[in-house]
Amino acid sequence: MKLVLFGAPGVGKGTQAKLLSEELKIPAISTGELLRAKIERASKASSAEDSDIELIKSYVDAGKLVPDMLIGEVLKSRVDMSDCKNGYILDGFPRSLSQAKLLEQLNIVVDKVVEILVSEQTIVERLECRRVCENCGETYNTEFKMPQKSGICDCCGGRLIRRSDDSPDTILQRLKVYRTQTKPLVAYYSDQKKYFSVSGDDGGGADQVKRNILKVIGESI
Ligand code: AMP
């Protein structure tokens, strides 16, 4: 199974990718996390990991899409790893028509594509309150998913921070990118009969959203 999860920033793709990964026993691959890890590694190393890091960071901080050539390399080296041989969940890739075509050039045929839908107003509220562990990436929310100890990750004890691209201006920019560059994927994958959508905000919580995704993709639990 090669499953694509997409949706605007803050709809809960990362949370769902992790839950589905446990359920379906295939890895979840977040291109955003891969990029943040790459930037973090470079900031800790005395010399830059590669010359593209500054460029990648400038796109991420501005809430814009990292150029296809750079993100394509990051994705390719991850899906070539041995844990991906039985399939994987792509969280945040493709994010444009050109990236959907890039997948095809890489001979990656996705089986199903699920969009998680949440209103823009809810997204803005969620992202303003989002905190992430700088160590393991676990996500929290100052309103409805607080850690047991303030500012500390329950999973690994890492420090909770606000993502640099969760600032109000960058949130609006990322929503615009989603509307203009990512939304055309709906028609693209609908034509291929691979597109499904679920509400990410129906009041049932993350587990209910997960069950709804499994239902639309035809996986029973
Ligand atoms: P995310 O963690 O999915 O919200 O992604 C954070 C940021 O990483 C995005 O705003 C982009 O700058 C970059 N990014 C993640 N995935 C992609 C992608 N498929 N193509 C281009 N840029 C990406």
Do residues 110 and 90 touch, judged by C-beta distance below 8 A?
yes
195-201 average pLDDT score: 95
Q: Report the residue among 65, 115, 139, 173 best suited for mutation to probe ligand 1: largest number of ligand atoms under 8 A from its CB.
A: 65
- Dist. CA 95 → ligand 1 center (Å): 8
Out of 2, 95, 112, 126, the active site residue is 95
- Is position 159 annotated as part of the catalytic site? no
pTM above 0.75, yes or no: yes
pLDDT digits (tens, 9 = 90+) for 49-83: 567 899 999 999 999 999 999 999 999 999 999 99
Report helix angle 68-79 to 31-44, nearest 10: 100
- Is position 36 annotated as part of the catalytic site? no
CA distance 131 to 140: 5
Amino acid identity of 164?
Answer: S
pLDDT digits (tens, 9 = 90+) for 94-123: 999 999 999 999 999 999 999 999 999 999
Model confidence at 189: pLDDT above 80: yes
Q: Residue 221 has what pLDDT?
A: 53
164-181 average pLDDT score: 94
- Is position 174 annotated as part of the catalytic site? yes
pLDDT digits (tens, 9 = 90+) for 28-41: 999 999 999 999 88
Q: Residue 179 has what pLDDT?
A: 96
Q: Ligand 1 within 6 A of 15 CB?
A: no
Q: Using pLDDT thresholds of 50, 70 and 90, give the confidence band for residue 204.
A: confident
